[in-house]
């Protein structure tokens, strides 16, 4: 028995288990050609022109199908109580119309997700999540504590507009008043009868908005509207995009599931600043965090400059890092050639003792171990 060589491009399998977003057909028609699965939903990750997509995000604006950024809806009198159990921030301080970035922690202090919490009403909260079924953790708590809250996945599908001209595009769609929306705040509105939540947010540091479509049947309509405004405002430089591997690494946007996960506590992945241990609010992980903070983190999420002047392909799995004596001390989680820095850069998890800025380590990113230097993120 013989088989084709592994030089084939791996094909993405579609099927009912891999849910299609409301924008699926439009994104495909616009050239989406590489996909991942995220929160059980098909997510375009490339339109076949990586440098063009990077350029649009850095210098113009682009539109992203990020419907796979699903929501966990907590609805009912105990919604805020349930959210507070899982969050180290004081959720009572979040106002209606405001978003709070927050780690979601289990009782042991493990980070099971890092969503933006949106407070839509006193008794209606969304968690706009990374790629884990945090809904099931919330449901377990609600079932066990017999809380008066429904934990569901609502019909809400974000379409992102990101880049320096994103605000102009979104203003063309919704009106000039959207320029007053502050970072992570949102409004509930509609455009041409399409109900949406419009938030100043998005998974880049280039600015922009996320438009949470609240009627999955209107995906093509919303896409077309935003697309038309993009062409009008940005012109030929307008186009589709996706969460961008280059930009997010350059900007030091850590990714749950890629860079860190539930085996990490918040102090190991840059989330310590969101953990308020001396507030009036209580949460399940408080006791664990007090102990962990005392003990100090075992590892740190850091940036690396990789040696060598030639672009190298990004890693596709965690790759080993050693100290200069050859002892394993961590893993590279993501790497990329930075057009801005003209360097290969990486995000890595390494033992705390090796995480000082300027420290030299050895990293294998696919072609044997090479020198690497610990640097600050965002990369400058």
Whether 174 contacts 212, CB under 8 Å:
no
Tokens of 312: 């190298």
Q: Is 17 in the site for a second copy (CB under 8 A)?
A: yes
CA 232 to chain centre: 29
CA 137 to chain centre: 19
What's the CA angle centered on 168, arms 162 and 174, to 5 degrees? 95
Q: Is 224 in the site for a second copy (CB under 8 A)?
A: no
Which of 98, 189, 251, 258 is the binder for a second copy (CB under 8 A)?
Answer: 258
Paired sense of beta strands 99-101 and 194-199, if any: unpaired
Residue placing its CB nearer to a second copy in the complex, 200 or 286:
286
Residue placing its CB nearer to a second copy in the complex, 50 or 279:
50
Give dist(CA 230, CA 237) in Å, integer.
9
Give min distance, CB of 364 to a second copy, in A. 14
Give dist(CA 48, CA 28) in Å, integer.
11
Give min distance, CB of 366 to a second copy, in A. 12
Helix (H, G, I), strand (E, B) or coil at 172: helix
CB atoms within 10 A of CB 293: 16
Residues in 114-143 at the binding interface with a second copy, rule: CB under 8 A: 131-134, 136-141, 143
Residue placing its CB nearer to a second copy in the complex, 141 or 375:
141
Paired sense of beta strands 41-46 and 111-113, if any: unpaired
Residues in 269-308 at the binding interface with a second copy, rule: CB under 8 A: 284
Residues in 25-54 at the binding interface with a second copy, rule: CB under 8 A: 28-37, 40, 45-49
Binding mask 171-210 for a second copy (x = CB under 8 A): ----------------------------------------
CA distances (Å), 368 to each of 121, 219, 324, 354, 374, in order? 54, 46, 14, 20, 18
Residues in 93-112 at the binding interface with a second copy, rule: CB under 8 A: 106-107, 112
Q: Is 229 in the site for a second copy (CB under 8 A)?
A: no
Residue placing its CB nearer to a second copy in the complex, 133 or 323:
133
Q: Is 61 in the site for a second copy (CB under 8 A)?
A: no
Buried/exposed 143-177: b ≥16 CB within 10 Å, e otherwise = eeeebebebeeeebbbbbbbbebbbbbbbbbbeee
Residue placing its CB nearer to a second copy in the complex, 37 or 171:
37
Q: Is 18 in the site for a second copy (CB under 8 A)?
A: yes
Residues that bind a second copy (CB under 8 A): 1, 3-4, 6, 8-20, 28-37, 40, 45-49, 106-107, 112, 131-134, 136-141, 143-145, 236-240, 245, 255, 257-259, 284, 314-318, 333-334
């Amino acid at each position: 028995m013989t088989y084709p060589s592994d030089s084939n491009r791996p094909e993405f399998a579609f099927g009912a288990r891999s849910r299609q977003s409301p924008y699926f057909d439009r994104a495909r028609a616009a050239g989406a050609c590489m996909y991942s699965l995220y929160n059980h939903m098909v997510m375009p990750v490339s339109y076949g022109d990586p440098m063009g997509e990077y350029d649009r995000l850095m210098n113009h604006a682009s539109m992203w199908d990020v419907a796979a950024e699903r929501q966990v809806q907590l609805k009912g009198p105990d919604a805020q109580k349930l959210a507070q159990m899982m969050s180290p921030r004081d959720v009572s301080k979040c106002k209606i119309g405001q978003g709070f970035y927050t780690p979601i922690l289990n009782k042991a202090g493990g980070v099971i997700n890092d969503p933006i919490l949106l407070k839509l009403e006193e008794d209606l909260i969304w968690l706009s999540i990374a790629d884990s079924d945090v809904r099931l953790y919330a449901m377990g708590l609600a079932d066990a504590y017999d809380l008066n809250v429904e934990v569901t996945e609502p019909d809400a599908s974000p379409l992102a507009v990101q880049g320096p001209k994103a605000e102009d595009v979104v203003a063309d769609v919704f009106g000039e008043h959207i320029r007053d929306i502050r970072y992570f705040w949102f409004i509930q509105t509609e455009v041409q009868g399409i109900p949406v939540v419009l938030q100043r947010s998005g998974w880049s540091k280039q600015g922009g908005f996320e438009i949470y479509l609240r009627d999955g049947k209107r995906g093509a309509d919303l896409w077309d509207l935003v697309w038309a405004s993009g062409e009008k405002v940005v012109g030929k430089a307008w186009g589709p995009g996706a969460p961008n591997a280059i930009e997010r690494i350059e900007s030091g946007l850590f990714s749950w599931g890629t860079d860190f996960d539930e085996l990490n506590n918040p102090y190991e992945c840059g989330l310590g600043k969101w953990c308020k241990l001396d507030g009036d609010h209580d949460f399940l992980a408080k006791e664990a965090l007090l102990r962990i903070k005392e003990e100090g983190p075992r590892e740190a999420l850091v940036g690396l400059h990789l040696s060598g002047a030639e672009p190298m392909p990004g890693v596709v799995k965690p790759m080993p890092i050693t100290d200069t004596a050859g002892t394993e001390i961590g893993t590279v989680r993501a790497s990329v050639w930075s057009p801005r820095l003209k360097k290969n850069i990486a995000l890595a998890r390494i033992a705390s003792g090796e995480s000082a800025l300027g420290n030299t380590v050895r990293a294998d990113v696919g072609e044997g171990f090479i020198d690497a230097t610990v640097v600050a993120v965002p990369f400058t």
